[in-house]
Structures are given as structure tokens and as C-alpha cells.
């Protein structure tokens, strides 16, 4: 979810959105945990790369038109990850889901632990 807290919107000089800004990180963006390196491609080595720590939900099964009461039945567990962004590329496209700035290979490093509902 993009711009999900006021300080981040302010930091980015962007208005606080009226509706959630959703984007995906494709599985090709997943990278190993530390000490795995984040290789920033040459076309985004312009100093605009940024990162944020994130709570990540790991989805366990496909679903559609899921009732709110049933939503957590589709969550396998939770982990921590980084959301790496190449801001110049990200803002070239208003649809962040298709933005090169959010979905570059290895731009979603994560830890190796998965906390399931039973452990939380």
C-alpha cells in the first residue's frame, strides 16, 4: 500500500490520498535475506533509490470476492521485508503496479522467518 502514513506522503511532497494506493511486488522481486545484495540496475542508478521496512503478508491460496470475515483464511503468515523503489522510474507511471520503479528484480528483500497465525 503506497503512501500509507502521513509522514511518508509529506516526505514525498505528495498529497495524502483519499483512497488506498495499491501496488504489487511480483515474485521476481523477492530477494534473499541479508547478506544478499540488492543489485540496482544501471538504468535506475540515478540516486533516487529508496527503501522502507514493511510488514509483509504471505498469501496461502487464490481467492476472489472474499468476504472480510474470511480474509485471514487466505493469509499463510507474516514476515518482514524491504520495499525498495527507484523513485524516478516509479513516478514516470501513475499506475505503480506497472512501474519499473517498484517491481525491479530483487527489489523486495525479506527475512527467512514466517510467522503463521498459530504463532502470532
Q: What's the confidence (pLDDT) of residue 44? A: 85
- What cell numbers appear for 107 in the block? 527489489
Q: What's the confidence (pLDDT) of residue 64? A: 95
Cα 40 to Cα 89: distance, rounded to the nearest angstrom: 12
**Domain limits of the chain?**
28-116
Q: Look at the pTM and tell me if it is higher than 0.75.
A: no
State in words which class domain 28-116 has: alpha beta
- For 58-93, the pLDDT digits (tens) are 889 999 999 999 999 999 999 888 888 888 887 776
Residue 96 C-beta-side C-alpha neighbours within 13 Å: 17
Amino acid at each position: 500500500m503506497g503512501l500509507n502514513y502521513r509522514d511518508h506522503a509529506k516526505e514525498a511532497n505528495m498529497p495524502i490520498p483519499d483512497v488506498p494506493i495499491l501496488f504489487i511486488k511480483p515474485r521476481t522481486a523477492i530477494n534473499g535475506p541479508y547478506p544478499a545484495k540488492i543489485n540496482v540496475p544501471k538504468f535506475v542508478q540515478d540516486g533516487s533509490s529508496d527503501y522502507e521496512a514493511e510488514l509483509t503478508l504471505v498469501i496461502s491460496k487464490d481467492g476472489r470476492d472474499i468476504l472480510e470475515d474470511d480474509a485471514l483464511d487466505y493469509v499463510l503468515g507474516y514476515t518482514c521485508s524491504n520495499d525498495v523503489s527507484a523513485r524516478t522510474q516509479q513516478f514516470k507511471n501513475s499506475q505503480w503496479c506497472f512501474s519499473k520503479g517498484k517491481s525491479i528484480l530483487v527489489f523486495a528483500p525479506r527475512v527467512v522467518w514466517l510467522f503463521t497465525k498459530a504463532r502470532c
